[in-house]
Structure 1
């Protein structure tokens, strides 16, 4: 009896430990309207940088860049894992690359987001292992509209899916076994999926699927979410009678719009099945990303069917296991695109915020984290950032690192706003002040510094955020911003003044005040000014009077 009791208690203890370990794994948690990434019980605000595609494939090469990455102030590095390195031969796995990445990250006290470059990377299948590349008779290639194969694995081939699932699950199981400190906090599944150079796959398996019925899961989603569908999907569906059953051409019409919807669904259900396989081995947060389309591009000129805003509904319906869709952006109109990624069902994460070195990166980071309640921000090829000691991104991360706990505490609660000047696709700056209400006040945020000659300013680099820290009290952080305050009720008759403005910094989490700026620096109490030279922090108190 005693032996059986001891065995039972031991089993119970092991089960409890396993449950605790699973509970402690990084995961997402809602806070008000925001979603946050929780690591070891605390929210993590990713101040990140993504390495170049090949940097992490040579651990000795990567090791030389850690001083640069630490100088920039990263708390998270995004790095690639290649299918052909993980599974060099069918069923034979080599995890040295992921183990080395985890070891180096731990030694430098940073977290990792890992990219699974497998069936697709920037549409093509260049990271598939040799047995996949040479086994084209089993692992089908996609075909163009003339029946010519392209070097892209078909999303409609079950053999490819099974091979990708098997390798990804093995990888996730290994990460779970070796990553005892939760250094790996999130996984990206594939990279910038989409069909090129035509709108959809014309391989035999794809053709058979295209002639078949639209899955009920998709038509059910369309009916349930009809009021909020993206116009691209909504218009294609309603123009053909809002059917709840039928072939792809019957439900969405013949032509490139319906064909892109079909191709997106194929990619989505493949990715969903792959994500489920990975999560079954180790349930980490998992996301996907997409390559945005330029104006007037046609599907196939950009990666058709990929997870970008006009296709979100298809991906949300087809890949519910995916936790979020991340934004890769290499265009100037950051605000235009970033706003579209913020949805009730999609927290904002920017794994590729243009190439490292872009002057607007710091302002974009403040906008992402402050206005959009973002999980994180990360320029691409971060190890090549020029002059990392003095680059504005380093200054932005220095300030965001100091105020990160406040940002996290206020996400999703309506007590924080972010701002920057939007740019058009052509790079033209919209200098119109951003107007919003916060804490009972109407606030005007101008990214043009009225006290500095305009032709010496780099307005796209300006931006910031404001947090209400108490009644009539705020914290402002940013660069090149002037804030003016008025009563939110224009009929109240009250005017608003600045009681006190103080700059300073947080040292080890404690506020260390600096200069009092009630004089010339604030126009004798008429506005708060964040100088354009560098990112900084100011606290202020306001008051009403008649």
Structure 2
């Protein structure tokens, strides 16, 4: 079979990226197939030299690497770039991109990566305080001394990057702080914070939220924990804006902040209150307009729900620009990571995906990442336009997509009756894929653990539901479901599988034939499928008949 060039006038991925991120020739042509290192993986030169080549072997194109304030400025006013320089050098040797994570004033709410001289000088660098007066290991964002110390070190880092990597061939993006948020209390109750709380809500925030009546925080929003959270979100965002503006002036690149999720029914302060969470997006966008992306760190169940909150849609009031581009800098590294990546890129045109602590994960967990990234690398060579993401588990098993009259019923592979793993009592691994429309009756399917059949609308409306036996045919004596037919006789056209080919796509976007899936592999032309545990790229062509 001859190679087939998959052409598109403009990739949706590129369009969304250029609409969201500030002018950036490097990252606008790039998708982050990433992984974040564990917190202590870059604290020595020997660790850096060992871990980055392993990340390349796993199939990553980008590594998210901590930069620690306590190592950068262990002596106040003296900057040591040894660790960071080695990170850039090894990444360059391996052909990897780097996203530095600034572990500055806050890391997972706490100020644990601040230098010793900062930690010891509580008078100069005050801490946040709970409502009960308990001091916390959290630097107060209301202190100008805290801001200026953090800003000085961060600006020195940005200046060094500008000198070390002026064309941004390696360093393509910057994370400012890490999972900002208040714990134990929804807000800071230190004297400086209390003074700020009694002040009127800033006019800029009222305007951003569409609130016309001015007043204090309590007068405008009430007196509950969620008012406290809004107050802190504004001041955290304004703090971050100082660092973001410095970054823009020194070495302009895409900037983001990441959020620990408000999950499991917890209240502000039980989760890290006031971080860049979806329900606080308008406050963060108003307070930190120089930040490009609010990014979710996803460790809980309900992956599809979390990502949908951060893939914020186009809004006329934003000038037609995407309010927030989906980027997942941290996700639990597990056997489901690969299919989740395919879903995020396919459904939401994500900028990137990155399992956390991938350097410490088992081969069983990293295999899915390697397999999915291999498929995604091929797909991106083809610059896909129209895409969907599929992600299924034991409860969420099916999705129906109507593509201009082509009705695709997409299901978890284990909905097929013949695989014994579906009924052995174990939890189903997630199945997922990216589905790509190449043209009328022409699709690509890349993933693992999915099955799709294709029907016309009239065929779908009139289909007869039957209970299937283990061979995939109707069980003897079984009754059809309570499905009500529109007519007693079939009326209209049908869709059939013209061909299902397993393929690869080369660097020029040309499709290379591997093998034909027919007969038993397509259930005699009834569907296209990829088994659980297999990772494949299928080229599916349909035809219509009566």
Q: Structure 2 length as normaliser, TM-score?
A: 0.85
Q: Residues 307-318 of structure 1: matches in 2 within 5 Å?
A: 307-318=276-287
**Matched position secondary structure for 1:101:** helix
1:202 to 189, 207, 210: 189
Which residue number in structure 2 is paired with residue 322 of structure 1? 291
Tell me: CA distance 1:197–1:41, structure 2 relative to 1, closer, same or farther (3 Å).
Answer: closer
Q: Secondary structure at the match of 1:55?
A: coil
Shift of 1:67: 4.0
- Tell me whether 380-389 or 327-336 shows the greater mean CA deviation: 380-389
Measured against aligned partners, the alpha-carbon deviations of 1:65-107 in whole angstroms (never above 9, x if no partner) come to 2343122100000000011211222222111121111001011
Quote how far apart the aligned CAs of 1:396 are. Answer: 1.5
Deviation at 1:511, TM superposition (A): 2.2
- Give secondary structure in 1 for the equivalent of 2:363: coil
In 1, Cα distance between the equivalents of 2:299 and 2:27? 34
2:435, 2:404 → 1: CA distance? 11
1:101 aligns with 2:87: yes
Contact 2:17 2:28 in 1 (8 A): no
Per-residue Cα deviation, 1:285-339 (whole angstroms, up to 9, x for no partner)? 1100011122221111111111112222221121111100111011121111111
Question: How far off is 1:366 after superposition?
Answer: 0.5
1:107-506 → structure 2 map (5 Å cutoff): 107-180=93-166, 182-223=169-210, 243-343=212-312, 344-354=322-332, 356=333, 358-387=334-363, 391-406=367-382, 409-410=383-384, 413=385, 415-421=386-392, 429-438=394-403, 440-449=405-414, 450=416, 451-453=418-420, 454-455=422-423, 459-488=428-457, 493-506=492-505
Two-structure CA RMSD over aligned residues (Å) = 2.2
Contact 1:485 1:527 (8 Å CA) reproduced: yes
Q: State how far apart, in whole Å, the 1-side matches of 2:297 and 2:51 are.
A: 23
CA distance in 2, matches of 1:41, 1:302: 32
> Which whole-Å CA distance do the structure 2 matches of 1:390 and 1:316 have between them?
35
Deviates most, 61-70 or 99-108: 61-70
Query: Is the 1:388–1:394 contact (alpha carbons within 8 Å) kept by the matching residues of 2?
Result: no
What secondary structure is seen at the aligned counterpart in 2 of 1:331? coil
CA distance in 1, matches of 2:17, 2:244: 27
CA distance in 2, matches of 1:125, 1:281: 25
Residue pair 1:172, 1:279 contacting (<8 A) in 2 also: no
C-alpha contact 1:361 1:461 (8 A) present in aligned 2? no
The CA deviation at 1:153 is 0.5
What is the match of residue 516 of structure 2?
516
- Check 1:390–1:285 CA distance in 2 against 1; reply closer, same or farther (3 A cut): closer
Write the distance in 2 (CA, Å) between the matches of 1:260 and 1:542.
53
* Corresponding residue SS for 1:212: coil
Kept in 2: contact 1:68–1:388 (CA 8 A): no
Cα 1:36/1:314, change in 2 over 3 Å: closer
Structure 1 match to 2:469: none
Q: 2:10 maps to which residue?
A: none
1:152–1:481 distance in 2 versus 1, CA, 3 Å? same
Question: For structure 1, which segment, 439-448 or 213-222, has the greater mean C-alpha deviation from structure 2 after superposition?
Answer: 439-448
1:3 is matched with: none
> Which deviates more from structure 2 when the two are superposed, residues 125-134 or residues 247-256?
125-134
Residues in 2 aligned to 1:316 and 1:385: alpha-carbon distance in whole angstroms = 35
The answer on whether the counterparts of 1:396 and 1:535 sit within 8 Å (CA) in structure 2 is yes
TM-score normalised by structure 1 residue count: 0.85
Where do 4+ consecutive residues of structure 1 move more than 4 Å?
A: 32-39, 488-492
Distance in 2 (alpha carbons) for counterparts of 1:34 and 1:376: 16
Alignment partners' CA distance in 2, 1:442 and 1:317: 42
Change (3 A) 1:36 1:520: farther
- C-alpha distance in structure 2 between counterparts of 1:299 and 1:149, whole Å: 18
Residue 78 of structure 1 contacts residue 112 of structure 1 at CA under 8 Å; is this kept in 2? yes
Counterparts in 2 of 1:30 and 1:273: CA distance versus 1, 3 Å: farther
Give the Å deviation of 1:540: 1.0
Contact 2:433 2:446 in 1 (8 A): yes
